[in-house]
């Protein structure tokens, strides 16, 4: 059984950066892409990008290009998502999710990032 555990909630100032982690256990970590999906309060789901650990290659949604960086530490089965130049509209719950053939089959518990001055 795959288990994804994310880091805790963050409160950030506008213009700063945040880095959220997602540690995976169970399953073949390196063989699957890991994606980040966010959800603003009361809103829907938005895909931000993904990384394939075995290739150490990341791809990003056009909307977030230049502002998001997804990295992986294969020694600890941990994926990171860093979002820079934060603004109030980035306040959301950020989820990591394992991507299997186009679907998201396992999800982390979510990390609330609040951006406020």
Partner 1 sequence: EIVLTQSPAFQSVTPKEKVTITCRASHNIGSSLHWYQQKPDQSPKLLIKYASQSISGVPSRFSGSGSGTHFTLTINSLEAEDVAAYYCQQSSSFDLTFGQGTRLEIK
Under the rule (CB under 8 A), what is the footprint of partner 1? 35, 44-47, 59, 61-62, 95, 97, 101-105, 107-110
The minimum distance between CB 72 and partner 1, in angstroms, equals 19
Minimal distance in Å, beta carbon 69 to partner 1? 17
* Rounded Cα distance, 82 and 101, in Å: 25
> Of 103 and 117, which CB lies nearer to partner 1 in the complex structure?
103
Give the residue with the Cβ less far from partner 1, 29 or 60: 60
- DSSP-assigned states of every residue in 4-46: EEE---EEE-TT--EEEEEEEESS-GGGSEEEEEEE-TT--EE
Instruction: Compute the least distance from the CB of residue 36 to partner 1, in Å.
Output: 11
Alpha carbon 30 to its chain centroid, in Å, reads 16
């Amino acid at each position: 059984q795959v288990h994804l555990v994310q880091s805790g909630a963050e409160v950030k100032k506008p213009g700063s950066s945040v880095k959220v982690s997602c540690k995976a256990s169970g399953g073949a970590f390196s063989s699957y892409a890991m994606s980040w999906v966010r959800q603003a309060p009361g809103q829907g789901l938005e895909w931000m990008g993904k990384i394939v650990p075995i290739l150490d290659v990341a791809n990003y949604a056009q909307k977030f290009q230049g502002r998001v960086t997804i990295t992986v530490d294969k020694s600890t089965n941990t994926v990171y998502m860093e979002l820079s130049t934060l603004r109030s509209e980035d306040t959301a719950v950020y989820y990591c999710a394992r991507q299997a053939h186009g679907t998201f089959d396992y999800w982390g518990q979510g990390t609330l990032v609040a951006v406020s001055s």
